[in-house]
Copies of this chain bind each other. A is one copy, B any other.
Amino acid sequence: MSATLGQTEVYSLLSLSLACFGILANTFHGDGEPLIASIAFSGLAFSICYALVRWLGNAFMQRGFKGRDLCKLKKTEIPETMGAVAALVYLFILVIFIPWPFYKDIVAATSGGGNRDVMKELEEVETGRLLHRFPHNKLASYLSAILSLQSIVLLGIGDDMFDIRWRHKVLIPAVAAIPMLIVYFVDFGVTQMVVPKPLRPYLGELFDLGWLYYAYMALLSIFSSNSINILAGINGIEVAQSLVIAVLIVLNDILYLSPFAPYPHPATDSHLFSLYLLLPFIGVSLALLMHNWYPARVFVGDTYCYFAGMVFAVDGILGHFSKTLILLLLPQGFNFVYSAPQLFKLVPCPRHRLPHFNARTGLLEASRVEFKKPLSLPIAASLKLLHRLRLLDVETDEKGQVVSSSNFTILNLWLVWFGPMREDRLALGLLGFQTAVGLLGLFVRHRMALLVFTADNW
């Protein structure tokens, strides 16, 4: 891969960056227009990430971060773990962005940066109540989000470097979630859940989950990160599925902003917070995808999958829409449940389960696992049932013994359903499916949720 940018690329990135700087320069009035600023920062994030991934590829290869693409005729080595670059750019942008959401508080309370406490007391005296109290808790929750994301990047890089064992890896997102959980505990501590109508006679309107709520948040981080990490293996799928989820959450957020909702909707602030986290994520992910899409010139590494999953988990938890998030992760959830028999060794699990590249046709086919030892009766029966339901492709010998099956991933299942196809067609098919499921999920959530909850989510 060439390590320099072409002329067109340079001009495009430069003009995008200049436009973004121009927009940013015009945000210093009113409330600082944080949403506009966030969009501009996302454009910058895109440019920086696009250029850095190109420039740093060779350095990564030299340092041993490289891998071979198994689904290609020519299995040349390309840089691995480039998702770390995207994550670092993202974190940098998120930090630089901090003053914008607080612009109105800084300017209104102090005319730009004196000692806020002193000013507050003056105003208390003058008006008898607290105007302009600085939203410290908003800042703390924003900082805790960045802390958890930095942690996942640190741990993800460690994982990509040292190949941590599978059963330890799974817990990485829970460790990275600790800063967020602790700040949540110290500063907010709301552990109540709105109870669905049918259960209200027994539990009341709000049910305090107590420490279970923290367990729930940790589990959500684990689920979100790992479910993205196992829906992987073909060019672009890790980044593109994350982009689909991010865009769907953005859609959901927009529903809470004017002109779609009465302003200020009680949840407006949470959903603005969510946008501030997601827009730059979309920026860096798009840039990364342009290098990672078929035919890939870089791999993104586990770091990216963990990082993306953590962005969603942090966003959902601190934005208070974790149930909606789970809805949007349904395809990943299905893939996890579907993979479980192999992940938990109920049936043999080969080292690689990614689709099989047929060098003659240039197409991907469902990869298969051979059962050298006969399977136990209930498992063989279950596999045959799955075959009947068209959820698996099972091969039996003349005695009716199961001798092989397609591997248990949604990628292979897609190939079982629709036959061999080129790598990018497979990715596009799955992404279309994921988008459809997600849109349906959002529709259900907004149209049907009132049947079980008395009011929309706050």
Give A residues with C-beta under 8 Å from B: 59, 63-64, 88, 91-92, 95-96, 98-99, 102, 106, 110, 113-116, 134, 136-137, 139-140, 143-144, 146-147, 150-151, 153-154, 157-158, 161-162, 178-179, 182-183, 185-191
Who on chain B is nearest to A105 by CB? B186
Q: How many copies does the complex hold?
A: 2
B115 adjacent to A190 (CB under 8 Å) = yes
- Is A189's CB under 8 angstroms from B114's CB? yes
Complex Cα–Cα for A188 and B186 (A): 20
Complex CA–CA separation, A59 to B144 (angstroms): 31
Q: How far is the CA of A96 from the CA of B147 in the complex (A)?
A: 13
* A139 touches which of B114, B158, B187 (Cβ 8 Å): B187
A113 touches B154 (CB 8 A): no
A95's partner among B91, B157, B178 (CB-CB below 8 A) is B178
Residues from chain B with a CB closer than 8 A to the CB of A113 are: 185, 189, 191
A185-B110 Cα distance, complex, nearest whole Å: 12
Q: What is the CB-to-nearest-CB distance from A142 to chain B, in angstroms, rounded to a whole number?
A: 9
Q: Which residues of B contact A151 (CB under 8 A)?
A: 91, 95, 150
Q: How far is the CB of A183 from chain B (nearest CB, A)?
A: 7
A130 CB to nearest B CB, Å:
9
Q: How far is the CB of A106 from chain B (nearest CB, A)?
A: 6
Closest to A184 in B: B113
Q: Are B99 and A162 in contact (CB under 8 A)?
A: no
Q: Which of A91, A92, A186 lies at the interface centre, i.e. has the most chain B CB atoms within 10 A of its CB?
A: A186
Shortest Cβ distance from residue A397 to the other chain B in the assembled complex, whole angstroms: 44
A428 to chain B, nearest CB (A): 34
**Structural contact, A95 and B186, CB atoms closer than 8 A:** no
